[in-house]
Amino acid sequence: MADWQKITGGITAPRGYQAAGITAGLKPSGLPDLALIFSDVEAIAAGVFTTSQVKAACVDYCRQRLQTKHSARAILCNAGQANAATGNQGWVDALESAMAIAQALNISSESVLLASTGVIGQRIKMDALRSGIPHLVAALSETGSDAAAGAIITTDLVTKSIALETTIGDRPVRIGGIAKGSGMIHPNMATMLAFITCDAAVSSHLWQQMLARAADRSFNSITVDGDTSTNDSLIALANGQSRTPAITELGAEAEKLEAMLTAVCQHLAKAIARDGEGATCLIEVEVTGAHDEVSAQQIAKTIAGSSLVKSAIFGRDPNWGRIAAAAGRAGVPFEQENLQIKLGDFLMLENGQPLTFDRAAASAYLKQVAGGAYLQNDTVLISASVGNGHGSGKAWGCDLSYDYVRINAEYTT
């Protein structure tokens, strides 16, 4: 049993946080497009960002800020323009955005972190952003998580949020999070945009280590289409407002906090994968028997990211050969005669040998899952064992439908 419980409130569930989301006129659609997360006090800040050589100005800005100052009070996020591949003027716009929100909040610009999402190659509409900031600050609320979650999305069909609570030192500790992402999801750090708030007191180096490990087991283990974004950002704040003793080294309390942080990240990551553009179901791949966790996750992610596997799932075709082929090309050595594959409860390959199974029933299983309730019983389970090792890992993806091509073919038009 998990040592925490789900609560309401999203990123404003932890103590000492407010959030807001408004329509500032950044998106042509007229939908909400400017979000703010604000801590009442200076919070320990950690971040994991895209490894792409083509990076948004906000990514460069946050990396520089976190190298020199391991704390922050505000995260400003605009949607509509990615401000990536926008040259020096994009950097100038990022600096001005940070300064403008800092002045409105009466804090130092060094306590501001930034995120952007939208069309690559387009600068932020600065006139709209400048005009919107006073309204954004005025909208800050201890119940503003949903508004913020709605203001960071682009092609997402649903918002993504979560909040969990545990007990440390006989006091409640909470972690909340929101995220956005639907397409261009194949993270090489975290994915798209995800923001985490926590009210525990934790040292900066430990918080960064926890976040990096949580990212590897969540956002770095999902894929929708094999494309890594220019703007991938995962930012986490911990403000100590739970008034629990500071966690400064590894131990039981640190392990409990990291486990809950990982659970928050995994929930958001699976929500992103399930909301993949045109998707009809979530795919969860579990690999066991590998030499180590890294190897298992590599195989799992390769299977989850295979266009052939994803297409077969969409076609409700229990074609286990595509799963075997993906496992074999993952770059992880294993003996073919040790391979076992299951689709749901259907055992299809064992000891490297094909087995007779009810194809019609297996296809019916895929159809049933596709009609399941969102993030409840809409997950296709693929299990693969590659040997007798102790390494295990999971990855998440979604099926590949006709609508994925339509959505992306018309993205800027």
User: Which candidate, 309, 320, 286, 317, places its Cα nearest to that of 391?
Assistant: 286
> Residue 38 corresponds to which tokens in the numbers above?
């604000």
DSSP 356: -
Backbone angles phi and psi of 60, in degrees to 5 = -60, -40
How far apart CA 180 and CA 117 sit, in angstroms, is: 9
Residue 191 a catalytic site member:
yes
Give SS3 for 240.
coil
Residue 226: CB atoms within 10 Å: 13
How far apart CA 12 and CA 370 sit, in angstroms, is: 33
DSSP 10: G
Bridge partners, 394 (sequence order): 286
Helices 293-305 and 307-314: crossing angle in degrees, nearest 10, is 60
| Whether 111 contacts 102, CB under 8 Å | yes
Residue 59: partners with Cβ closer than 8 Å, 6 or more residues away = 49, 50, 230, 231, 232, 233
User: Which candidate, 193, 141, 160, places its Cα nearest to that of 37?
Assistant: 141
Which contiguous run of DSSP H or E holds residue 105? helix 87-105
Q: Which of 159, 166, 191, 302 is catalytic?
A: 191
CA distances from 109 to 75, 105, 209, 286, 384 (A): 11, 10, 25, 44, 49
How far apart CA 243 and CA 256 sit, in angstroms, is: 17
User: Which candidate, 288, 291, 24, places its Cα nearest to that of 152?
Assistant: 24
What residues act catalytically? 191
